[in-house]
């Protein structure tokens, strides 16, 4: 007796089978995923009393944010999706109208009390907003987003966060865009009656983790790192450690040669000096580079170097952004099925690191201002929010394609300047008024001003990767809008407009080269990627 005949598979089914086969082949090379904690959403409308020029008035401050619903000892607790909306009463509108203000820009500061067991600390949540029209009547509503420091603690116990004092600085401008007189209004607010206890924004249970101190050491207080503080994270399974072969040179055509590696791992030989091929397993000493030591690493800690050029379109020139250290914590790997293929999503979060601050090293920028005046400035790029990396690899057998986005909010800070050899006093607070800005492809998911750098790459099973992968490194490119400058000048002289006219504007192309990452917390990390003290060994070279 004949059984049923098998139904021929469609080309789509065969392609799907090939994709699944590719996934199965790649799966052993991917970092394992940990169990994700849930998210605690906060949405609190709180009463405040604000001191306006016309007197004290009641106001409402609405705070929205997301917290992890639990954390481990030593894990970074970072509020995300933070917005602060203040509704000032009609009296505030009247004060602005009296100044003949047509628009107003806001910068807010919310003090948040942090408590755990008997320990206490404070954090400040900063926020900025784009200018909004001043209404002719009714209340004035301003919504800000911005800097939110992370929290870490080395002891177990519930950590609570409570909203405290609030302040908002208003920068009104007339219909012609010129500042009013006075150019700013400082509004300070204190919490009003809150019988329902809504000011307690969150309570995050912090559980036990692998101890990091000596027995009997008293637990330290909760700490509130500045945006420059190194990132710590929940221990996760380690990265694969099969990257032991010394790096090989690329062929003349640019195709890599050497030991096969997985899609998310393996040193790129075009991102730094190769290991000594005559003595396998004994890599060359690392060239001079800024320190890149990760404090309290976890198995998910990664570090790398990045270097490259940025154009300043108005000055018709490019400037080298110096070799900088990046430290991130690898997130949870996601596997997503989409119509085109299975996708492997590799997230990470962290930031720049230089002498304990989230910034680049200081560097000199020299240009001909307005086309003829030689100008030299010492500047830094200062990070004012988390750096996020997100790789997306489509398993399109036999060649898998990768797209990565690196997002980071940075302001350009000027430390000193000389014009035609004469020192120009810029003061201690000269910076762009907001972060450098790129066109964001997913604005709803990634709000706020920030740089977006994009990397594209390919991986064929059994071959080295081409282009950019998060862990392999490679070229990242983007374009930035440089905002206007603020706080520049000394001894009563304001040079904001001079720097804005010379530098600020759109169309500034950026190209950065990232090194392969060092798996900081993995004891078996290969020597060609990590030094003995767990710093990245390979040093990238800038490309134009």
Residues 6+ apart with CB under 8 A from 363: 319, 320, 321, 322, 378, 379, 380
Judge if 244 and 185 occupy the same domain: no
Give dist(CA 409, CA 386) in Å, integer.
Answer: 7
Q: What is the pLDDT of residue 518?
A: 93
Judge if 19 and 58 occupy the same domain: no
Judge if 20 and 45 occupy the same domain: no
Q: What is the mean pLDDT of residues 322-339?
A: 91
Task: Give 89-146 pLDDT, tens digit per residue.
Answer: 998 898 898 888 999 999 899 999 999 988 888 888 888 888 899 998 889 999 998 7
- Pairwise pLDDT comparison (536 vs 77), residue with the higher score: 536
Judge if 391 and 515 occupy the same domain: yes
**DSSP H/E element including 98:** helix 90-98
Residues 6+ apart with CB under 8 A from 339: none
Whole-number Cα distances in Å, 152 to 76, 224, 229, 331, 332: 5, 7, 10, 17, 20
Average pLDDT of the chain is 77
pLDDT band at 232 (very low <50, low <70, confident <90, very high): very low
Is residue 414 in a domain? yes
Is residue 213 in a domain? no
Q: What is the mean pLDDT of residues 231-251?
A: 30
pLDDT at 16 over 60: no
Is residue 215 in a domain? no
Taking the mean position of all CA atoms in its chain, how far away is CA 166? Answer: 25
Judge if 283 and 139 occupy the same domain: no
Is residue 402 in a domain? yes
Judge if 447 and 310 occupy the same domain: yes
Tally of domains in the chain: 2
- Pairwise pLDDT comparison (212 vs 125), residue with the higher score: 125
Give dist(CA 273, CA 517) in Å, integer.
Answer: 14
Judge if 249 and 145 occupy the same domain: no
Q: What is the CATH number of the domain that holds 109?
A: 2.60.40
- Looking at the whole model, is its pTM more than 0.75? no
CA atoms within 13 A on the CB side of 22: 24
Least confident of 22-31, 108-117, 319-328, 428-437: 22-31
Judge if 194 and 274 occupy the same domain: no
Print the domain residue range for 289: 11-34+236-544
Contact predicate 126/106, CB 8 Å:
no
Is residue 342 in a domain? yes
Judge if 285 and 201 occupy the same domain: no
Is residue 500 in a domain? yes
Judge if 136 and 25 occupy the same domain: no
Judge if 156 and 17 occupy the same domain: no
**Of 190, 207, 224, at which residue does a domain stop?**
207
Is residue 231 in a domain? no
Q: What b/e sequence results for 164-190 when a residue is b if at least 16 CB atoms lie within 10 Å of its CB, and e otherwise?
A: ebbbbebbbbeeeeeebeeeebebbbe
Q: What is the mean pLDDT of residues 135-161?
A: 85
Least confident of 74-78, 195-199, 392-396, 426-430: 195-199
Where are any strands of DSSP class E within 23-88?
A: 39-52, 55-68, 71-72, 80-88
Task: Give 345-387 pLDDT, tens digit per residue.
Answer: 989 999 999 988 899 999 887 765 555 566 788 899 999 988 9
Judge if 415 and 433 occupy the same domain: yes
């Amino acid at each position: 007796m004949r059984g049923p005949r098998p139904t021929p598979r469609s080309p789509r089914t065969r392609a799907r089978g090939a994709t699944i086969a590719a996934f199965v082949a790649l799966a052993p090379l991917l970092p394992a995923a940990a169990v994700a904690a849930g998210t605690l959403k906060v949405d609190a409308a709180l009463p405040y009393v604000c001191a306006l020029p016309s007197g004290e008035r009641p106001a409402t401050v609405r705070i929205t944010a997301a917290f992890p619903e639990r954390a481990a000892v030593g894990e970074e607790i970072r509020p995300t999706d933070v917005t602060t909306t203040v509704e000032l009463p009609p009296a505030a509108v009247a004060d602005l109208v009296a100044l003949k203000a047509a628009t107003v820009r806001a910068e807010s500061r919310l003090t948040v009390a942090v408590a755990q067991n008997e320990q206490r600390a404070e954090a400040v949540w900063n926020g900025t907003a784009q200018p909004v029209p001043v209404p002719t009547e009714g209340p004035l509503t301003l919504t800000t987003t911005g800097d939110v420091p992370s929290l870490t603690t080395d002891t177990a116990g519930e950590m609570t966060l409570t909203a405290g004092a609030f302040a908002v600085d208003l920068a009104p401008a007339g219909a012609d865009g010129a500042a009013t007189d006075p150019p700013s209004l400082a509004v300070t607010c204190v919490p009003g009656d809150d019988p329902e206890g809504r000011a307690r924004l969150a309570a995050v249970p912090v559980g036990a983790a692998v101890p990091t101190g000596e027995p009997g050491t008293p637990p330290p207080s909760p700490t509130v790192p500045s945006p420059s503080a190194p990132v710590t994270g929940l221990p996760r399974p380690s990265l694969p450690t099969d990257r032991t072969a010394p790096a090989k040179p690329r062929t003349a055509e640019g195709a890599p040669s050497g030991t096969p590696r997985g899609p998310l791992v393996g040193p790129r030989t075009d991102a730094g000096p190769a290991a000594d091929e005559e003595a396998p397993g004994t890599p060359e000493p690392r060239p001079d580079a800024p320190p890149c030591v990760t404090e309290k690493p976890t198995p998910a800690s990664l570090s790398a170097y990045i270097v490259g050029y940025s154009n300043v379109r108005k000055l018709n020139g490019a400037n080298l952004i110096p070799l900088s250290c990046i430290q991130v914590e690898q997130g949870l790997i996601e596997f997503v099925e989409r119509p085109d293929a299975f996708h492997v999503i590799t997230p990470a979060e962290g930031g720049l690191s230089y002498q304990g601050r989230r910034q680049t090293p200081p560097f000199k920028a020299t240009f001909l201002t307005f086309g003829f005046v030689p100008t030299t400035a010492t500047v830094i790029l200062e990070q004012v929010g988390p750096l996020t990396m997100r790789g997306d690899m489509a398993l399109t057998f036999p060649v898998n394609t990768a797209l990565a986005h690196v997002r980071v909010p940075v302001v350009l800070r000027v430390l000193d300047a000389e014009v035609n050899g004469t020192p120009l006093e810029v003061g201690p607070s000269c910076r762009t008024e907001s972060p450098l800005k790129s066109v964001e492809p997913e604005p709803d998911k990634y709000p706020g001003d920030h740089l977006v750098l994009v990397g594209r790459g390919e991986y064929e099973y059994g071959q080295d990767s081409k282009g950019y992968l998060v862990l392999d490194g490679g070229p990242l490119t983007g374009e930035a809008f440089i905002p206007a400058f603020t706080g520049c000048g000394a001894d009563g002289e304001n040079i904001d407009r001079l720097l804005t006219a010379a530098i600020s504007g759109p169309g500034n192309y950026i190209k950065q080269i990232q090194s392969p990452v060092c798996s900081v917390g993995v004891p078996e990390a290969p020597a060609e990627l990590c030094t003995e003290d767990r710093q990245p060994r390979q040093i990238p070279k800038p490309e134009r």
